[in-house]
Structure 1
Amino acid sequence: MVLGFASLVFGLWLNFQGNSRDMFNVNDDDKKSIDSDVFHIVVYILVILGSVMVALGIFGEHSACNYNKIALLVYCVFLFLLAVTAITVGALAYTSKDTVGKKFGELYSDVYKLYGKNKDETVAATLKYVHGLLHCCGLAGVQLTEMVKKTCPKADDVTKHVNPAPTCQQSIESFIDQCAPLVTAVFVGTGALLITQVVCAALYSSKIHRDSEAPQ
């Protein structure tokens, strides 16, 4: 329940957080809006998975407190399906890391070009954060403007890591590739925790059944 509530709150925060929504809703001359498919997929997964986990947690708690073995068995089935879903999402996060990396690279490219057109402070803050986190700056084949340079880390900080400095698209793809095992471990770990809960609930249901059949 706690994990589900944390996932739900974080997903809702991402969805309704002003800066992120404003950034994705700003119009561009070449397209209606910045491609935010990856962002929305992440939000949907967090919200849906969190909501289901909270609902199942409440249902399981109610079933256990009322010593309802049938409800506990139903709880076990749905919890097992949720565990399989979490493990599957983790596996997909790893196997799709190249595609996800390219999508985020394209998203950075859109944000970068957008900032050059509207000079929005929210977009500038996003670029500055990405540049500082990944120690990169700019797009391949695109000359940095003085305005964009203000969002870049210091030259010494960039060259300290690699020379010549990589483009941010390359750095993002590399970062996603490195983070994929961690993301997979989080989802697989959550799945393992849920399976442990399935076992505990099944054992408790079995105990209730034995107690109900025991002579008084």
Structure 2
Amino acid sequence: MALSGCGQICKWIVILFNILFSLLGLGLLAGALYLRLSADIPGELQTNHFIFMLGLCIAIAVVILITAVVGDCGSWSENKSTLSVYCSLLFLLAAASAIGGGVAFVNNKEFSSHVAEFYATIYAQYLIKGDIIRAFLLKLFHNAFDCCGLGGTMQTIMGITNICPQQTSILGIPISTSSSCLSLITSGLQASSVLTFFLVIAGILIVVTVCAGFICQQLSRPVPTSPPYIPLSTSTCSPSSFTICSTVPSFSPPSYTSVAE
């Protein structure tokens, strides 16, 4: 059944969201696999904590990709069953995001220390590899917390001021003026900010779930059927006749019989 105007709007919202969702999943999966499988990294930098974080990212990326594929298939084909599965997956992701935000809010110090440890591992690996992927991840941290590695002139000695947000130049030599990231990450991740981040993600997922549910509701409406045509009378006119036909039966006068006296 064709969707109404609001149904079409919800359909394109779901399709656009799934495109962005799939790109996010692909980027997360590719980055996590690269960090996990990249060579020339000493064993002491492949910590259990680092491997666990990458495994978690890979699992989340796979779930995101599966959800996006199911949503695209259901919205394009307007299949009610597929959209129902998609709504269930989105609801589970939204619930997981809200629960994760609550857990991070309650254990904010432990959550901050995990993020700081993950950053320290990436930073130490970048000092060895100097690759683009790790530089990109470090820039995300640096721009978010306005920091850089160990901070101060240590970045100049290590020669990695190109990824620091704050730097100056003395005699043509770039010198980092950013603060250390480890302390800022530990103290800068406020519990309220972490909870807000997870709740915003859950809210976006709920909005898309509502749109997909509205499409399902539109597809569940009964298809209107036209009433069957019932002829009022039988016409004996031929199609080629130009005579106006009447559906009223012809009138015949009553017959009179004479009674013998």
Q: What interval of TM-score do these two structures reach, taking the shorter chain for normalisation?
A: 0.5 to 0.7
Q: Is the 8 A contact 1:131 1:137 kept in 2?
A: yes
The 2-side partners of 1:36 and 1:187 are apart by: 26
Q: What is the alpha-carbon distance in structure 2 between the residues aligned to residue 7 and residue 22 of structure 1?
A: 21
Which residue of structure 2 aligns with residue 89 of structure 1?
96
Q: Is the 8 A contact 1:94 1:184 kept in 2?
A: yes
Q: Which digits, 9 at most, give the CA deviation of each residue in 1:42-88, with x for residues without a partner?
A: 343244234323324423543x4xxxxxx62x345323312321321
Cα deviation, residue 180, structure 1: 4.2
Given that 1:86 and 1:191 are in contact with CA atoms closer than 8 Å, whether structure 2 keeps it comes out as: no
Matched residue, 1:6: 20
Give the one of 194, 205, 213 matched to 2:220: 205
Residues in 1 aligned to 2:190 and 2:52: alpha-carbon distance in whole angstroms = 16
Deviation at 1:172, TM superposition (A): 2.8
Matching residue of 1:162:
none
Q: TM-score, normalised by structure 1?
A: 0.66
Match of 2:148, SS state, is coil
* Aligned CA-pair RMSD: 3.8
**Would you tell me which structure has more helix in proportion to its own residues?**
1
Paired residue total = 194
Q: Aligned pair in 2 of structure 1 residues 36, 148: CA closer, same or farther (>3 Å)?
A: farther
- Report the structure number with the largest CA radius of gyration: 2
Deviation, 1:40, is 4.2
Does residue 135 (structure 1) correspond to residue 150 (structure 2)? The answer is no
- State the distance in 2 between where 1:189 and 1:50 align: 17
Does residue 103 (structure 1) correspond to residue 117 (structure 2)? The answer is no
Distance in 1 (alpha carbons) for counterparts of 2:93 and 2:63 = 11
Shift of 1:132: 4.3
Which amino acid is the alignment partner of residue 184 of structure 1?
L
Aligned partner of 1:79: which letter? Y
2: distance between equivalents of 1:77 and 1:61? 14
Match for residue 181 of structure 2?
168
Whether the 8 Å CA contact 2:29–2:57 is kept in 1: the answer is no
d(CA) in 2 for partners of 1:78, 1:22:
32
Distance (whole Å) between structure 2 residues aligned to residue 144 and residue 191 of structure 1: 45
State the 1:149 CA deviation: 6.5
Give SS of 1:206's match.
coil
Cα distance in structure 1, aligned partners of 2:210 and 2:200? 15
Give unmatched runs, 5+ long, in structure 2. Answer: 1-14, 169-175, 229-261
Greater relative contact order (Cα < 8 A, sep 6+): 1
Structure 1 position 30 matched with structure 2 position 64: no
TM-superposed CA distance for 1:21, in Å, is 1.6
Secondary structure of 1:15's match? helix
Q: Is the 8 A contact 1:76 1:202 kept in 2?
A: no
Is contact 1:112-1:127 (8 Å) kept?
yes
> Identity, % of aligned pairs?
14
What residue is the counterpart of 1:21 in the other structure?
A: 34
Could you report, residue by residue, the CA deviation over 1:119-143 in whole angstroms, capped at 9, with x for unpaired residues?
6354456545533442223459xx9
- Cα separation, 2, equivalents of 1:125 and 1:23: 16
Of stretches 84-93 and 121-130 in structure 1, the one that deviates more from structure 2 is: 121-130
Deviation at 1:205, TM superposition (A): 0.9
Q: Report the CA distance shift for 1:14/1:49 in structure 2 as closer, same or farther (over 3 A).
A: closer
Contact in 1 for aligned 2:147/2:181 (Cα 8 Å): yes
